[in-house]
Every structure is written in structure tokens, then in C-alpha cells.
Amino acid sequence: MRVFVTTSDWYNPIIPAFADLFNRYWSRAQEVTILGYTSPACSLPANFSFHSLGDPRAFGNEITEWSHGRRGRHFGEPYPTPRWSDSLKRWIAALPDPCFILLQIDYFIHRPVNLSQIQRLMRYLDDENVAKIDLSTDRYHSPHAEYAVDGDTRIIVSDQCARYRSSLQAAIWRRDYLDEMLKPNRSPWDFERYGTYEHMNDGRLILGVADAEHGPVPYLNVYGGGRVNWHQLRKMDPSVFGDLQARGWIGPHWNGWMEPS
């Protein structure tokens, strides 16, 4: 199954660190496509490729987050890309894959991925009502019921009234379900926020694992509101963090960088 990762021009500087962690903890054999706007200046590992979603100006991605008076949680504007949903809608219209894994560039994988568990979860896509399978712990922390037990994995199904069925945390998506959710003129945050209510009681099944601490894809959300989240970043293995810094892949060139207090 193919893996896609969404980014914006202003998050491109974190691609090298993301890619290194992916290859450490997932697999160098897994092909990954980065979905962004302007091709990053950095070189990519052999298993990574970049696909442009279009001209950043067409989707509002030409303005940097936290630039003077613009775009950020306190500026009253959608961010980082106000028409992110439109760019994804055009991409998904040409996508042949019925199902795929979607990740976000600011979710740094920091421990080994449970690949065998992901393989087991994929089998449940045989049920056409299963529209999404969460690969984090997100669905466990929302109302849910037991769906199945597969070996040592307890699989849960999210309640129809649960919030954030539209969450963009690591997940396997059925193509038609994501397409249905992509309403015009929405940033990633608007996609999640409005989708929370629009997709309650839609009859589709969203599965996850019954684990409060460790989903199949363990990650750190290294950005919050467009700024570096040091509380999360400091949870990374110190030796790995030091290695990424030494390579110049973590540092003040990141958008939203502020030295920790």
C-alpha cells in the first residue's frame, strides 16, 4: 500500500528529518510520496519522491506562517494553506489507489512502527463499510466499541457521534471517503474542525486499536499552531535528536523556530 505525506512550502525544511526517521523506524523499502507545492531544495532518500499539488499561490501557500500580521492562530486567518482541501481534491481525482496511508510531515515517527499490526489491520478493508483505519492512538481516546480481536490486537470502532472522525493523524484512508470530506476552501485545521460535525453519524466505520499509549505508528507532533513544539520534540531519543542536529536537519532554519526557554 502506498504512503503519502502532505507538507506545505513552509514545512519543507523538516522533510530531511522526517524522511530519516521514517527510514529508521518504518522501512527503507517502503515507497513514500511527499505531497506539497514547491519542490524542496534538499535531496530525498531513494524511496522518497515529491509530487507537486500545484502553484502555491493558487492555494494560499505563498504567505509564510507567522509572517508579519498574517496567518497563525492569533491572526484570524486560515493557516498554513487556506485552500489545502482544493489542492488535495484535484490530486485525489487522478489517484487510482482505492486505499492508501496518509501522514502529515510534522508528525515525526520516533519509535519502531508495528508493520505486522498494520498488515493485520489492512485485512479489515475487505468490509466496504470500513472507510478509515487509524494508525495512532487517536480513536482510543474518543468514544468507541470493540470491533474484533486479531491475535494480540484489540480492534475498536469509533462511535458515530465521536469527534474528529476527520482527524488527519496517521491513518489508512479509503479514497472515496477522503474525497467526500474534501470541501472547498479549507485549511488542514478547517478540514478537521468542520469535518468533526459533518461526519458524525455518516454510517461509515472508522477502526483503530485499543491502546492508550502506542498505536502502530508512534509519532511526535513537532509543530503546534505553526511553531516548533519543544515539549514534543524533547521526547525524541536524545542520540537520534543529536544526530539530526549534527546533520543540519533540525535547527533555526525551520519555520516557526523559537529557542526553548
Tens digits of per-residue pLDDT, 161-201? 999 899 999 999 999 999 999 999 998 989 999 998 999 99
Indicate if the pLDDT at residue 10 is higher than 90: no
**How many CA atoms does the CB half-sphere of 184 hold within 13 Å?**
1
pLDDT at 64: 66
pLDDT at 65: 60
Specify whether the CB–CB gap between 117 and 216 falls below 8 A: yes
pLDDT at 60: 82
Indicate if the pLDDT at residue 70 is higher than 90: no
User: Which residue, chain included where needed, has cell 530519516?
Assistant: 20
pLDDT at 224: 79
**Residue of 21, 177, 46 lying closest to 107 (CA atoms):** 21
Indicate if the pLDDT at residue 66 is higher than 70: no
pLDDT at 257: 86
User: Which residue, chain included where needed, has cell 526553548?
Assistant: 260
Burial 190-219 (b: 16+ CB within 10 A, else e): bbbeebeeebeeeebbbbbbebeeebbbbb
Q: Quick one: pLDDT band at residue 3, thresholds 50, 70, 90?
A: very high
Indicate if the pLDDT at residue 18 is higher than 90: yes
pLDDT at 211: 87
Indicate if the pLDDT at residue 74 is higher than 80: no
Indicate if the pLDDT at residue 71 is higher than 80: no
pLDDT digits (tens, 9 = 90+) for 93-113: 999 999 999 999 999 999 999
Average pLDDT over residues 21-34: 98
Domains of the chain: 3-246 (3.90.550.10)
Mean pLDDT estimate for the chain: 91
Q: Which residues, in sequence order, are CB contacts of 126 under 8 Å at separation 6+?
A: none
pTM exceeds 0.85 for this model: yes
pLDDT at 184: 95
pLDDT at 236: 96
Instruction: Give the range with max mean pLDDT: 3-7, 56-60, 189-193.
Output: 3-7
Indicate if the pLDDT at residue 154 is higher than 90: yes
